[in-house]
């Protein structure tokens, strides 16, 4: 029952997709600060490599960049080849890489649909499928491996903006989480999802010109999410404290979804 044992993730190995910025970077930092070796992926190699170096130095812990495009099976296989050469097992997989697209209902494009669905839904399924053996190597009844899928409150609420493929994709992520959890729990691999609300990021930022003050005013907690909020929740799910939590989608939104009078939709 000691808190250091209950919430320890020290000595584990994690993969965080989209780990170089936004929520992915927050999760990566939380892992590194608590003794986890982290592999991060993103499409833009220079920024990814620079961020991995910066985080490694800041936390004195290994952060290893693997540039790749996870929206295609070929990209996932390239990623898996590199990971398999470096590690014989993975403890935690955080499926965080994602994209958004805003366009009116009348003109919404196939490109905007496919880009978002491929990265937000297809990549989660196929990367988890391909990583199953590496996750199984480290899993046991006492200490299961973890998969955490990053959804969104836009997959629970009707969003204010016209982001049709994004909200549909995140709703799919939440249900896919339950379906994969049912399959993989028998192999001591626990699958859960987190549905973040507003956090400072390069996805939300441009929509509000990086001014979060109005969003903060309308949030029940009167602020946006912080790195501690998302990293703490991920660490809970990955630690002994979260080892009996399976197939859940946990909101981290300051109360937007569950506090109807404050609903942002």
The catalytic residue positions are 166
Name residue 14's beta-bridge partners.
38, 92
Instruction: Give the whole-angstrom CA distance, residue 95 versus residue 151.
Output: 9
Name residue 195's beta-bridge partners.
251
Task: Please list, in sequence order, all residues whose beta carbon lies within 8 angstroms of the beta carbon of residue 139, skipping any fewer than 6 positions away.
Answer: 145, 187, 188, 189
Which spans in the chain are helix H? 3-6, 22-33, 45-59, 73-86, 110-117, 123-138, 164-184, 213-218, 227-238
Q: Six-digit token pair at 2?
A: 């000691």
Neighbouring C-alpha atoms within 13 Å toward the C-beta of 9: 31
Task: Please list, in sequence order, all residues whose beta carbon lies within 8 angstroms of the beta carbon of residue 45, skipping any fewer than 6 positions away.
Answer: 65, 67
């Amino acid at each position: 029952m000691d808190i250091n044992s209950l919430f320890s993730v020290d000595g584990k190995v994690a993969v965080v997709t989209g780990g170089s910025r936004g929520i992915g970077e927050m999760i990566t930092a939380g892992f590194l600060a608590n003794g986890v070796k982290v592999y991060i992926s993103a499409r833009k190699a220079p920024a990814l490599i620079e961020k991995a170096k910066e985080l490694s130095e800041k936390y004195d812990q290994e952060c290893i960049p693997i540039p790749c495009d996870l929206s295609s099976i070929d990209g996932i296989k390239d990623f898996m080849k590199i990971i398999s050469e470096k590690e014989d097992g993975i403890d935690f997989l955080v499926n965080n890489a994602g994209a958004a697209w805003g366009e009116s209902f009348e003109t919404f494009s196939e490109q905007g649909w496919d880009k978002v669905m491929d990265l937000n839904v297809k990549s989660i399924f196929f990367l988890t499928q391909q990583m199953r053996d590496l996750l199984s190597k480290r899993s046991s009844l006492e200490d299961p491996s973890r998969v955490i899928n990053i959804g969104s409150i836009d997959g629970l609420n009707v969003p204010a903006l016209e982001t049709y493929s994004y909200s549909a994709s995140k709703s799919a992520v939440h249900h896919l989480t339950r379906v994969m959890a049912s399959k993989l729990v028998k192999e001591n691999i626990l699958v859960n999802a987190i549905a973040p609300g507003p956090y400072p990021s390069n996805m939300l930022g441009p929509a509000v010109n990086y001014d979060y003050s109005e969003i903060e005013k309308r949030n029940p907690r009167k602020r946006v999410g912080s790195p501690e909020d998302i990293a703490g929740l991920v660490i809970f799910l990955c630690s002994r404290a979260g080892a009996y939590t399976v197939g859940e989608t946990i909101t981290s939104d300051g109360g937007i979804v569950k506090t109807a009078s404050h609903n942002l939709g």
